[in-house]
Structures are given as structure tokens and as C-alpha cells.
Chains A and B, each alone.
Chain A
Amino acid sequence: MWLTRPLQERSTQIFLGVLFGALVIVSALHLFMPQDSALYVSSYTVTLLGKYLCYALLAVAVDLVWGYLGILSLGHGAFFALGGYAMGMYLMRQIGDRGVYGDPVLPDFMVFLNWQELPWYWAGFDMAWFAFIMVLLAPGILALVFGFLAFRSRVTGVYLSIITQALTFALMLAFFRNEMGFGGNNGLTDFKDILGFDLRTDATRLGLFLATGIALAIGYVICRGIVTSKLGRVSVACRDAEARTRFIGYRVERVQLFVFVVSAMLAGVAGALYVPQVGIINPSEFSPLFSIEVVVWVALGGRATLYGAVIGALLVNYAKTVFTGIMPDAWLFALGGLFVLVTVFLPKGIAGLMSRRSKKDDTDTPSAQEATA
């Protein structure tokens, strides 16, 4: 089976081992250390780490399409945010009559805007199973439609990057509108509980952190399964020589569409886990800057390695937390510098530095001829 094959790989075993080890250690330090101990991990830190893990999952999703399919998506933030909004809508409905206005059905912002009833697309989000399916479906369907149109007419390379960016930009503008029914500027917030657990308790936070870790592990294994399968090899072939693959007889656009949709769904899951931990989702997640930032995490970690994406996401976001804490002005300088330095001096990222096996073909960047075609 394609999903179990990665589990026999040494690299996957190491990755999963490190990940689960980290999860266990963090939980143990959080639960069993006295609060004044230097080793104690506060619930704030647990949530922060959970947030990083969401980003890591998103980065893995981006690496899947960029690293193994050669599609630089500058719109993965859109899929992340759509998953987040699906989760946010569920959490909104869970508030029930505990909102400021106390309306049993309508969320606060709708009462504020004088809406009389729930828009049709909010129906069903009071049920967890429906919301969780939508977390996968909403980004999945968008990716399916968008990808179908784009890949069918063979839009690739830079053009695809630019229109994915336009896509997320258009969605951002749309979600900023109050009339859309997603809370406009402020987005969705003030969540109370998830599946009956109070979101503000330490136990729920730890649970969400662990769930995110497990989701990352599953996402990693799925991606690894895809890239080691025959489909994965075809997709690498599409990346490196699209025309040649097509002439051999593969339906390139189908491969691209499949991988793209899977990646979008993973991004959606990451968004869904992100929302209960940070407690808010608003249209800024759609901003082109965020999407392109994700790409740089992957570039820093090392493209087409998957674990590199995780490393990149964790490193950059840790740096962001530190930087914005001590000198907020310098963060954009650092981030901008990172973009330049990584692309110019570190084309293979940190993973490229670490592994000496760079002879392997799949870490090579696509040939210049293909990239500009």
C-alpha cells in the first residue's frame, strides 16, 4: 500500500520519531513540571508551538506542489484560510446564545449588521462532522475548479504563480466585504468551545497541540506516500520535463490536478487546526504576503524534501516571534533579506546543507529550459 510504504523508509521513521518525541516531551514538561521550574512549558508556549506545527503542515502542502510538481503556488494561504473559515464557522455556531447579543442562532456580527437569518451557506456548520468535511471540501473544490481550468489550458510557471496570487488577492478583497457574511474586517472570533471542550483551558490547548502534531505526521506520511508512489514519480517528471512526459503518454494535467487538490486539502486542515489555537480568523490570512512567506519557509528548509519544509516553517516562525518581540521594525528587513539570501546563496535550503546526497535528482531545481517554457 502506498501509505504504508513511507513508514519503512528511514527518513520518514526519523522524522516521525523526532516529531512524536517532541510532542511527548513538550506534553510531559507542560503537565509534570512545577510552574516555577525553568523547564516548565507554559500553555502559552504550547499554543505557540501548536501554531508553528500548523504552519509546518501548510509548508509541507506547499512543498508537495512546489517541490514535486514544479508549481509555485502563491495562493496556498487561500486554501489555509478557507479551511480556517470552515472551522471558524463551526466554532461560531458553538457559541450559541453566549455571544454579546445573546442571539441563539446568529453570530454577533450578523446581529450587529441587522441580519434576520443565517445565510444558506452557514447551514450545517453547527454540526462538527459537517464542518470538518467542509474543512477538506472548501479548499479542495476551489483547488479543483481553479486547477482544472489552469492545468487544462497548460498555464504553468510564472503565469500560474501570478494568477494564484491574484486568486488569493481577490478572495481577500471579497472576505473583507461585510456582505459576504464572514464577519468582514474582523473575521470570526470570540470562540468558546470545540466539541464541548472549553477552548481556554490548558487541557484543550494541549489536546489541540497534540492533534496538530498528529495531523502533521499524517500529512507528512500522505505526502511521502504520494511522492514515493508511481504517481509521485510522474509528477516529478512533469516538473522536470512537462512536454516530454506528455509525449510519453501521461495525462499531465490530471496528475497536476490530483496533487494540487491534495495539497490544498492539507492546507485547509492546517488552517482548521490553526483557528482554534489562535482564536481568530480574518481576511488577512488571504493576503498575498502570507502565501509568499510560506514559500520562503519551504525555500529556506529545502525544496522537494518535505522535512525541509517543516524545518523552514519552524525556524522562520520562531525567528519571527523573537524578532517581532524585540525589534518589530527589523522583522521585514530580516524576512526580505531571507528571501534574497536563500534564493541566491542557498538554492537547496538547509536540507541541502545537511545532506550530502545532493547528487539525487529530485532535489535539483527544474531545468532552465522547462521553467521558462
Chain B
Amino acid sequence: MGIIRSLSQLLLVCCLILPAVAAAQVDDSEAQQLLTALAESSFKEKKDVVNRIASSGDERARPWLEAYGDNKLARIESSGEFVIVLKNRGRDWTVESAITGDNLGEISRRDIDTIRVNNALRNELEGILSVIDLKSPDEENRLTAARALKGSVDDTLAERLPEFIAAEESDAVQAALTEALAIYRVEEQGDVSAVATLSGSLNSEARAALQQAQNSDDPALAAAAAKAMESIEQKLKMNRAAETLYFGLSLGSVLVLAAIGLAITFGVMGVINMAHGELIMLGAYTTWGMQQLLPGQPGLALILSIPAGFLVAALAGIAIERTVIQHLKGRPLETLLATFGVSLILQQLVRTVISPLNRTVITPDWMSGSVMINEGLSLTLNRMYVIGFALVVFAGLMLIMRKTRLGLEVRAVTQNRAMARSMGIKATKVDILTFGLGSGVAGLAGVALSQITNVGPNLGQSYIIDSFMVVVFGGVGNLWGTLLAGLSLGTINQLLEPWAGAVLAKILVLVLIILFIQKRPRGLFPQKGRAAEG
């Protein structure tokens, strides 16, 4: 029997591929023994059993002890099986097996014996439960538990903490525990030596403890606390600055993404494309469509949307160029009006064909969540991806414009069309390709935007004015200018936001740009030489 049992357990372990967790488990029969001991021993002995359960390292220990403290750990009279009571109202109680965790359905309460507990034991349990996770073999669990202890350490725990700190292997957990203990010492005992530990801590409990200490009667403690607070404030300020910068850069990279395609079509080609925003929208809708096509695989769909979004937007852009823009060459104001008309048509098309409501685009797992830099600062992953994506797109465009034949021809055609044509460059082909490239990049922007804003028919409209501002601010025809303008406008916007509010910040930025254009009508980096005369 024993061999078969252990073999089957081995198999189970292999199947689950969770050797680390399985190693910490106590044998099921051992567990049964422990629980039986708990049920049958006297209150005096129970204390000992509880401690044995807690130190067993089994991950089921916590639910057992929690249930026990709540009077919910029980034994079925007939079979002797231990259960945890999920619902103890009425005649039949819902229970699950304490050993396997299987739901056993409803059982009449007469067949169930609750394991008795008294108040002394409850206190003991409370102490044990607060540190039970500190004994977990998994470092991640220990760290979470240690962090949760900050500010909630009581007298009994404080006595036991030093031994945990001494036994702890991981530096991070040790630091967290030390801090938790220091908070207790500062708060409850007014211990000056503990203040130094808290200096520079970003934990809110630590700050609360120090704040309290600052107002204490002991001048030495108050002074030390004030000093520690100062260092914390300093750190917090840095944190806030870093956070603002991060948000600014992320907003800025969104602006860069939205504007960089425009920097090609408007900046380099000189075509005013008011439908640029709608090309962004098409990119975002492509992402949504891809996810509809590949349900359950949002990550794959997102990656596939990058080429697909580029293609869809590029084709739409080329269609606009062929049908409308090429007939309006040299009449920029008319081009502006006509492409605005195109943007209205595209918006309404999406409203009619898909829906006037916003669509949800799923963020894949590897893009959600955040990276914790320190306790006061964590950066969301999706924005980090957008920043990276913007830089990659920018670098790609730079390469195309600088290093490829197409880039050369584009620059030649925009500088002097007639001369370029007489050198054998097919200007019309270059027009189409350039416009397709700019539009395709707008599609890429849409793919990225689908991860951070709502995907709806008005998506493009909300970016078109900003995009034009970025291009004009950066200096028309200059990709570097667009990058710098986008990032700096994003950062300025975020800097203004805390004291002006989101809307006012946006208004202020617009007014700033309008004033800036008065001062430097050709932007940050004006084109020089022949190209400037266009």
C-alpha cells in the first residue's frame, strides 16, 4: 500500500510540476494525524499541536488555523474526515475537505463535530497566523507577509520578530521585517535608535510613525524623527519628480507616435492631411478586429496587428492620396478642407459599420501590471511598452529617411520636384510611397493607442490638433524636432497638471504653443536653405 501510495504521489508531483510546493506539503496521512491530535487533545496540549501545524510549512496550515480560530474546523462523525465549514447557517452546512480541498456539498450539522477552541487559544492563533507566512518556503510570500506587517506589529509579535530576522535568508525580507519592527519601536516605545532605520523609508506607516514621533515630548526623539522625515520628504520629492517625468514621457511618446506620421506627410511632403487622426483610429480598430479574429490570444493578436495596422492605414492613406490629395497639389488650404471631409466620412463609416460605442481592446498579460521601483513608485508596464514602441518606430523612420533609396528620393522630390523628375525619379511613385509610409505609421500609432485609451470613432479627432501642434512646434520637415517637441510637450503637460488640473494644463499648453509660434513661426528646428522656401 505504502509503495503504491508514494508512487502515486510522485506521479502527482510530476504531473503538477510543482516540486517546490509539493516538498513543503506534509503527507496527507501526517496531516490527518495532526488534525486528529488537534481534535482529541486537551486545551493545554492543543497549543502545542497548533504550533506544530504552524511550523510544518504546509500551505494548508493557514486555512486550517484560520478556520479553527473561527470555529469552522470540524470532523465528520461517521468517517472521521476533517472539513472546513464554508457556510454554517441552517440545518445543513456546506463543507469542504480540509485535506484535499474538495467541496463535499451540504452535510447535516448533526453529523459534524466542530473542534473546540477557547480564547487563550485564539490569541495564540492570532500571533501564529500573523507570522505563519514568514515561514513560507517561497521568498515572494515571505516578502509580501513582511511588508504587510509594517504598522501592524503588536507586543507579542515584536518579541518574536528578532528571531525571524535572524533566521531570514533573503535580504529584502530581512529589511522589511527590520523596518516593521522599527515602526513598532518608534510608535510604541519611542525608541530613538529605531528612528535611524526608518530614515529614508517610503512606507506610509513608517511616515505615520515618524510624524507621531515628531510631536512627542522627548526632544531627542522628536529631533531624530524630524531629521528622518526630512530625508523621506527628499526621497518622496524625487519619487514624484520621477513619476511626473515618466508620465510626461509616456504622454509625450503617445504624442510622438501620433505626430510622427504627420511629420512625414505634412512635414516632409507638405500635405495637410486632416484625416491623419482617422488613420490612427483605423490602426486601433485593426487591433480590435484582430482580437476578434483570434479570441483568447490577445497577445498574438496584438503582435499581428502591428503589420496589419500598418497595412490597413497605409492602404487607406494611399487611397486618400490617389482620390483626393493628388488633385489638389499646391493648394494646401483646399487640401485641408478636402481631407477634413474624408475624416468625417471615415468616422461616420466606423460608426455605421462597427458601432458608435467604444470597443474594448484587451491588454495581454505581459503588458499589464507594473514594475515596482521602490515602495512609493511603481511604473505601469503598458506605458513603458508604448514609450519603447515610439522610440523603435522613430528609429525605423529615421533609418528609412536617411539610409534608404526611398528616403533619398523623398527628400529629392520635396526639395525640388522638377529637378528630381528630370533626374529620373518617378515623383508620383514617390508621392504614393511616402504618403503610404506616413499613413502606415499613423496606423502603428493606433495599435499602440488601443492599449492605453478607448477605441472609438472619436479616437482620431482627439489627437489631430495635438499632432499638428507637435509637428509645427518641432519644426516642419524635421523628424528630430517632432521627437523632441512631442516628448517635451508631454512633460510640460504633466508638470502643469498637478496645480492647474488636466483641462487647464491642456489649454495652457495650447496657448504656450500659440505664443511660441508667434515667436518662432517655423518651430524649434526650422528648415534652412532652399527647402525652407518650399
Q: Is the CB of A336 within 8 A of B348?
A: yes
Q: Is the CB of A335 within 8 A of B469?
A: no
With contacts A155-B517, A329-B351, A329-B352 taken as known, whether A371 is within 8 angstroms of B342 at the C-beta atoms is no
In the assembled complex, the CB of A144 is this many whole angstroms from the nearest CB of chain B, namely 14
Name B313-346 residues within 8 Å CB distance of A: 324, 327-328, 330-338, 340-346
Q: Is the CB of B324 within 8 A of A72?
A: no
Q: Mark A332-373, 1 if CB is under 8 A from B, else 0.
A: 110111111011100100000000000000000100100111
Kindly state whether residue B510 has any CB partner on chain A within 8 Å.
yes
Q: Is the CB of A372 within 8 A of B348?
A: no
Give complex CA distance A356, B405 in Å: 49
With contacts A165-B465, A339-B340, A340-B338 taken as known, whether A159 is within 8 angstroms of B517 at the C-beta atoms is yes
Q: Is the CB of B333 within 8 A of A177?
A: no
Q: Is the CB of B337 within 8 A of A339?
A: yes
Residues of B within 8 A of A186 (CB): none
Pick the interface stretch among B8-16, B18-26, B192-200, B501-509: B501-509
Kindly state whether residue B347 has any CB partner on chain A within 8 Å.
yes
Q: Is the CB of A368 within 8 A of B330?
A: yes
Kindly state whether residue A153 has any CB partner on chain B within 8 Å.
yes
In the assembled complex, the CB of A177 is this many whole angstroms from the nearest CB of chain B, namely 6
Residues of A within 8 A of B472 (CB): 159, 162-163
Kindly state whether residue A161 has any CB partner on chain B within 8 Å.
yes
Kindly state whether residue B515 has any CB partner on chain A within 8 Å.
yes
Give complex CA distance A59, B334 in Å: 17
Give complex CA distance A48, B248 in Å: 47
Q: Is the CB of B270 within 8 A of A372?
A: yes
Q: State which of A166, A295, A365 has its C-beta within 8 Å of the C-beta of B337.
A: A295
With contacts A159-B521, A333-B348 taken as known, whether A173 is within 8 angstroms of B506 at the C-beta atoms is yes
Q: What count of chain A residues pass the 8 Å CB interface test?
A: 46
Q: How large is the interface on B (under 10, 10 to 19, 20 to 34, 35 or more residues)?
A: 35 or more
Kindly state whether residue A230 has any CB partner on chain B within 8 Å.
no
Kindly state whether residue A152 has any CB partner on chain B within 8 Å.
yes
Minimum CB distance partner of B468 in chain A: A162
Q: Mark B468-503, 1 if CB is under 8 A from A, else 0.
A: 110010000000000000000000000000000001
Minimum CB distance partner of B513 in chain A: A166
Kindly state whether residue B406 has any CB partner on chain A within 8 Å.
no
Minimum CB distance partner of B275 in chain A: A336
Residues of B within 8 A of A332 (CB): 344-345, 347-348, 351
Q: Is the CB of A176 within 8 A of B272?
A: no
Residues of A within 8 A of B337 (CB): 292, 295-296, 299, 339, 342-343
Residues of A within 8 A of B90 (CB): none
Q: Is the CB of B518 within 8 A of A155?
A: yes
**A interface majority secondary structure:** helix
Q: State which of B341, B347, B352, B468 has its C-beta within 8 Å of the C-beta of A339.
A: B341
Residues of A within 8 A of B328 (CB): 343-344
Q: State which of A149, A158, A166, A335 has its C-beta within 8 Å of the C-beta of B332.
A: A158
Residues of A within 8 A of B342 (CB): 336, 339-340
Residues of A within 8 A of B504 (CB): 174, 177
With contacts A155-B521, A295-B337, A329-B352 taken as known, whether A368 is within 8 angstroms of B503 at the C-beta atoms is no
In the assembled complex, the CB of A117 is this many whole angstroms from the nearest CB of chain B, namely 23
Give complex CA distance A371, B272 in Å: 13
Kindly state whether residue A167 has any CB partner on chain B within 8 Å.
yes
Kindly state whether residue A154 has any CB partner on chain B within 8 Å.
yes
Minimum CB distance partner of B504 in chain A: A177
Q: State which of B330, B343, B534 has its C-beta within 8 Å of the C-beta of A336.
A: B343
Residues of A within 8 A of B272 (CB): 158
Minimum CB distance partner of B508 in chain A: A170
Residues of B within 8 A of A99 (CB): none
In the assembled complex, the CB of A76 is this many whole angstroms from the nearest CB of chain B, namely 14
Residues of A within 8 A of B514 (CB): 146, 149, 163, 166-167, 170
With contacts A170-B510, A177-B503 taken as known, whether A347 is within 8 angstroms of B334 at the C-beta atoms is yes
Q: Mark B352-372, 1 if CB is under 8 A from A, else 0.
A: 100000000000000000000
Kindly state whether residue A288 has any CB partner on chain B within 8 Å.
yes
Give complex CA distance A35, B512 in Å: 57
Give complex CA distance A161, B464 in Å: 13
Kindly state whether residue B30 has any CB partner on chain A within 8 Å.
no
Q: State which of A162, A329, A344, A373 has its C-beta within 8 Å of the C-beta of B327.
A: A344
Give complex CA distance A368, B340 in Å: 20
With contacts A158-B336, A169-B465, A343-B334 taken as known, whether A149 is within 8 angstroms of B515 at the C-beta atoms is yes
Kindly state whether residue B163 has any CB partner on chain A within 8 Å.
no
Question: Which of A150, A158, A177, A371 gathers most chain B CB within 10 Å?
Answer: A158
Give complex CA distance A192, B518 in Å: 43
Minimum CB distance partner of A332 in chain B: B348
In the assembled complex, the CB of A155 is this many whole angstroms from the nearest CB of chain B, namely 5
Kindly state whether residue A157 has any CB partner on chain B within 8 Å.
yes
Q: State which of A152, A166, A336 has its C-beta within 8 Å of the C-beta of B518.
A: A152
With contacts A332-B347, A373-B534 taken as known, whether A368 is within 8 angstroms of B331 at the C-beta atoms is yes
Kindly state whether residue B155 has any CB partner on chain A within 8 Å.
no
Residues of B within 8 A of A163 (CB): 472, 513-514, 517
Minimum CB distance partner of B272 in chain A: A158
In the assembled complex, the CB of B446 is this many whole angstroms from the nearest CB of chain A, namely 20
With contacts A170-B510, A337-B341 taken as known, whether A72 is within 8 angstroms of B519 at the C-beta atoms is no
Q: Is the CB of A372 within 8 A of B344?
A: no
Give complex CA distance A177, B503 in Å: 8
Question: Which of A72, A149, A158, A162 gathers most chain B CB within 10 Å?
Answer: A162
Residues of A within 8 A of B351 (CB): 329, 332
Residues of B within 8 A of A146 (CB): 514
Residues of A within 8 A of B507 (CB): 170, 173-174
Give complex CA distance A336, B339 in Å: 9
Q: Is the CB of B336 within 8 A of A161?
A: yes
Name A130-164 residues within 8 Å CB distance of B: 146, 149-150, 152-155, 157-159, 161-163
Q: State which of B331, B345, B506 has its C-beta within 8 Å of the C-beta of A337.
A: B345
Kindly state whether residue B102 has any CB partner on chain A within 8 Å.
no
In the assembled complex, the CB of B317 is this many whole angstroms from the nearest CB of chain A, namely 15
In the assembled complex, the CB of A140 is this many whole angstroms from the nearest CB of chain B, namely 18
Residues of B within 8 A of A72 (CB): 333, 336
Residues of A within 8 A of B324 (CB): 340, 344
Can you give 12 contacting A-B residue pairs, CB < 8 Å? A173-B507, A173-B510, A288-B465, A299-B334, A333-B348, A336-B344, A339-B337, A340-B324, A343-B335, A347-B334, A365-B331, A372-B534
